[in-house]
Amino acid sequence: MEKQKSGGSNIWTTLLSDASSSARSVFSTEKSIIIIGEDLSGKSVLAAKLQGSDEPHRGSGLDFQIIEVEDEDADESGVCRVWIVDGNLGYRSLLQFALPQDMVADSIIAVVVDMSQPWNIPDALDKWTRVLFEHVNSLKVEPNEMEALRQKLVDKFLGYVDPSEAADPKESKLVLTKTDNKTESAQLGDIALSENLGIPVVLVCTKCDQIETLESEYDYREEHFDYIQHYLRQYCLKHGAGLVYTSIKESKNIELLKKYLLHKLYDFPFSRTASVIDRDGVFVPIGWDSEKKISIVSDNLTNFNVSDPFNTVISRPPQSRMLSHDSMKEITVEDEQTFLAKAQVVLNKAPASTKPAAGDAAAMRSKIRVAQDPGRIGFNALPGSGASPKTGKPEVGKPGASNERMLANFFNSLLNKKPGSPGGPSPAKAGSKPGQPGNLKPRASVKMEEQQGS
């Protein structure tokens, strides 16, 4: 009996040991992808595509979703958390839930910018970069820990090996070499990682299928897109970030982006090389780019320089030429009384020749009353109709007399039609009494009969 207990205890010990060892897999630590950017830039749709869904979930303030992740080599699976931060700065305090202090080392930031409106890119990048740095500084991470995270980002940047040059083309391995500060600074240059957040960042450019629209609608040329690429790559080099051009409409680079994000979080194998030739499919992994490579783009510019201000090269078009999806933005209608007050001010400032005379205004009000209730004063009493204001009968020799006779003949033809005939009055219902709807005549018809009888 004791042996059975002992054997059973060993079995449970073995199971618990196996469970404990499996818990130390790549999924034992929770990972997060934090997506930030302007409203209507495609954040929710992008998150849905990363999950393999065509129906985006649009939350408010801070949206939370998950991506199912599988490790093919270890035959294990887990989930990666996805946080989508609202584009309104009023919700930036919610970053404390998406990126708390204990998740700084296990998160990656996806900054989303909209290629369909490239003139907004600099402001969006400045805005969200400032938000990220302010939030990370507010976490009060230990200085030694924060410095270790920044150094880890530098080491990965310098240790990047292109998959085409690696010994095993199926994976890109990180080669870390011990270097002193002088050697490290020489390798990085003056720009690379000059603003080190300590967290991996990937700049995602959405709606790149709109590049053709920018050419046809705003006369963009190849140089404009080269200038934009140069600007984005300079930003990425400065922050040690990656760059991916995507298109939800054409499903371009979506799977690439997903694999790259998971590669950076879980160190999964990744075999895609950089691509900067395809203007709507640019991909620059972290650590691949350099000042020398970016300068190749600037050599192709002839009409302007890369040092020119962004808003002078990529200027904001007039409001009348903005892209159609601007109509999706919410429009607040002003108060009715405010609108009427503004209209009154405009009318008061109008020249006297354009203001309606008092007699014309009275005539217009009379016409409106007759149109609303023709039987009130009779059809013949309209001003300018040739009818006598007192009797309502057409006056002989007046221009409106013939029109009044035509109206009288028209109504007489209606009254003389037999019940049930097309266009005629419907017959009264059986058993209806005088005064009920079945015996009532139209008010206009009664008035016309009175006029004819007089």
DSSP string computed for 271-298: -PPPB-SSTTS-EE-TTT--HHHHHHHH
Q: What share of the chain is helix, strand, coil (3-state, %, to 5)?
A: 50, 10, 40
Instruction: Answer yes or no: are the C-beta atoms of 227 and 233 closer than 8 Å.
Output: no
Q: Are residues 361 and 220 part of one domain? A: no
Boundary (domain end) residue, out of 264, 295, 325? 325
Average pLDDT over residues 7-14: 64
Q: Are residues 104 and 34 part of one domain? A: yes
Residue 373 falls within a domain, yes or no? yes
Q: Are residues 151 and 291 part of one domain? A: yes
CB environment 131-155: b (16+ within 10 A), e (fewer): ebeebbeeeebeeeebeebbeebbb
For residue 77, the cross-strand partners are: 70
Residue 227 falls within a domain, yes or no? yes
Does residue 408 surpass a pLDDT of 50?
A: yes
What is the pLDDT at residue 343? 84
Average pLDDT over residues 186-192: 89
Q: Are residues 128 and 202 part of one domain? A: yes
Residue 426 falls within a domain, yes or no? no
Does residue 373 surpass a pLDDT of 70?
A: no
Q: Are residues 42 and 177 part of one domain? A: yes
Q: Are residues 394 and 248 part of one domain? A: no
To the nearest 10 degrees (0 to 180), the angle between helices 222-239 and 121-138 is: 10
What is the pLDDT at residue 199? 97
Residue 125: pLDDT band (50, 70, 90) is very high
Instruction: Answer yes or no: are the C-beta atoms of 451 and 378 closer than 8 Å.
Output: yes
Nearest to 406 by CA among 435, 427, 379: 379
Dihedral over alpha carbons 23, 25, 30, 32 (to 10 degrees): -160
**Higher confidence at residue 444 or residue 302?**
302
d(CA 248, CA 207): 7
Q: Are residues 263 and 190 part of one domain? A: yes
Q: Are residues 195 and 81 part of one domain? A: yes
Nearest to 172 by CA among 286, 26, 69, 31: 286
Residue 161 falls within a domain, yes or no? yes
d(CA 15, CA 20): 9
Q: Are residues 210 and 183 part of one domain? A: yes
Residue 11: pLDDT band (50, 70, 90) is confident
Domain of 295, in residue numbers: 27-325
Does residue 46 surpass a pLDDT of 70?
A: yes
Residue 14 falls within a domain, yes or no? no
Residue 253 falls within a domain, yes or no? yes
Q: Are residues 357 and 261 part of one domain? A: no
**Higher confidence at residue 397 or residue 259?**
259
Q: Count CB atoms within 10 A of the CB of residue 450.
A: 11
d(CA 358, CA 364): 10
CA distance to 339, 349, 350, 355, per residue, from 345 (Å): 10, 6, 9, 13
d(CA 406, CA 387): 13
d(CA 70, CA 258): 12
pLDDT of 202-232, one tens digit each? 999 999 999 999 999 999 999 999 999 999 9
Boundary (domain end) residue, out of 325, 348, 368? 325
What is the pLDDT at residue 266? 94
Number of domains in the chain: 2
Boundary (domain end) residue, out of 325, 360, 386? 325
pLDDT of 247-297, one tens digit each? 999 999 999 999 999 999 999 999 999 999 999 999 999 999 999 999 999
What is the pLDDT at residue 287? 96
Residue 221 falls within a domain, yes or no? yes
Q: The domain spanning residue 223 has which CATH number?
A: 3.40.50.300
Q: Are residues 82 and 154 part of one domain? A: yes
CB environment 175-199: b (16+ within 10 A), e (fewer): eeeeeeeeebeeebeebbbeebbbb
Does residue 339 surpass a pLDDT of 50?
A: yes
The CB-side HSE value for 78 (13 A sphere, CA atoms) comes to 19
Nearest 5 degrees, angle CA 244-CA 249-CA 251?
A: 55
Q: Give the β-pairing of 242-245 and 283-284.
A: antiparallel
Residue 102 falls within a domain, yes or no? yes
Does residue 361 surpass a pLDDT of 70?
A: no
Q: Are residues 373 and 239 part of one domain? A: no
